[in-house]
Amino acid sequence: MSRQEKRNQPSSITSGLILILLGVLFLLITLDFLSWSDLAAYFLLGLGIIFLVESFSRSPKSTNGKPPLGKILAGVILLVIGASHVFDYFAWWPLILIAVGLYLLIFPTSKMKAG
């Protein structure tokens, strides 16, 4: 497998999973298991799960062997926003965003070089 094929593999898997998620959600709406008003919440919940699974899988590892922090944060944020709508905790999810932002300000992931 060439380098280009290996680089595009995680993005094509993610794209396929997102299309499957949308298909399942639209099928559940058509069969009256979900309503249209719940679509966004379940989509964000599923998207957060997809990002987390992809970030912890073996293929998208960065050069230092650790999963990418950006995908993990995006997955957690989407998961929390979606779950807050699904489980009707809509009032508190902005606090999660504030906490993550404060964490990133207090504990930056990369240190500036002196010079």
Query: Going by C-beta distance under 8 Å and a sequence separation of 6 or more, which residues neighbour residue 78?
Result: 44, 45, 47, 48, 51
Say if pTM beats, i.e. exceeds, 0.75. no
Q: What are the residue ranges spanned by the domains of the chain?
A: 3-106
Cα(first)–Cα(last) distance of the chain, in Å? 41
pLDDT in tens, 23-64: 999 999 999 999 998 899 899 999 999 988 888 775 545 556
For the stretch 60-93, pLDDT in tens is 455 566 667 778 888 888 888 888 888 777 677 6
